[in-house]
A = this chain, B = another copy of it.
Amino acid sequence: DIISAISAALADGPLQGKHILVTSGPTHEPIDPVRYIANRSSGAQGTAIARALAGLGAEVTFVTGPADVPPPDGVHVVRVQTAAEMLAAVQAAKPADAAIFAAAVADWRVANAGTSKIKKTATGLPQLAFAENPDILATISQMGAGRPALVVGFAAETDDVIAHASAKRLRKGCDWIVANDVSPATGIMGGSENAVTLITEAGAESWPRMTKDAVAAQLAQRIAQEIA
């Protein structure tokens, strides 16, 4: 809304003068002109983080897949569909002081995606070949010269959350991982609350369950402490 856009523009916060890149939402990977592979990310957490960072005075570039929630005001919005488009948008938005990769990017795409609708075959079943998508988090974490001072990844896990997420931090080369348990029983996927563990070089720090807005506010404060 107008109020938040104005407050963001006027914000004399700790992140003023900083450019922060935030990705959010799902990606959609086409199978053919009518079918695609998607994931259940609503974009709610990434949107809240972008809003919180703008509220602390940051200039935010918000690269978003087809999310359920509208993007926040007061940020520069770049809309994409696929992982490949998201990487291209991230590359184009650099340089940045920090990059927060909250999007749920598809790990793979359909390599033989068709320009015509797939017809049923004799067996009735499709033959889909998959190809690995670009790894946006690893690409930016390991880019060398011009790397953002702080790179934050997300890990949505359904089991063994801290072990999987700690391994992911080392494998990708990012600074922090925000990990959470998206098992259906938690109700977090698509819900308004989140229960995250922040994994840094210093270890794992589990935050209490709170609203996604509160998680965003706390994470934005930590980012400000780190780079401001």
With both chains docked as a complex, state the minimum distance between the C-beta of A32 and any C-beta of chain B, in angstroms.
Answer: 8
With both chains docked as a complex, state the minimum distance between the C-beta of A37 and any C-beta of chain B, in angstroms.
Answer: 6
Write the chain B residue with the least CB distance to A114.
Answer: B158
Asked if A174 is an interface residue, CB under 8 A from chain B, the answer is no
- Contact A107:B132 (CB < 8 A) given known A34-B39, A34-B40, A37-B37: no
Interface size class of A (residues with CB under 8 A): 35 or more
Residues of A within 8 A of B (CB): 28, 31-41, 104, 106-108, 115-117, 120, 124-126, 128, 130-132, 156-159, 182-184, 189
Contact between A107 and B120 (Cβ–Cβ < 8 Å)? yes
Q: How far is the CA of A103 from the CA of B216 in the complex (A)?
A: 38
Contact between A125 and B104 (Cβ–Cβ < 8 Å)? no
A35, A40, A120, A156, most chain B CB atoms within 10 A: A35
Write the chain B residue with the least CB distance to A104.
Answer: B34
Contact between A36 and B34 (Cβ–Cβ < 8 Å)? no
Option from B38, B108, B126, B128 in Cβ contact (under 8 Å) with A36: B38
Contact between B37 and A117 (Cβ–Cβ < 8 Å)? no
Q: How far is the CA of A35 from the CA of B189 in the complex (A)?
A: 11
Write the chain B residue with the least CB distance to A128.
Answer: B128
A130, A131, A184, most chain B CB atoms within 10 A: A130
Contact between B34 and A116 (Cβ–Cβ < 8 Å)? no
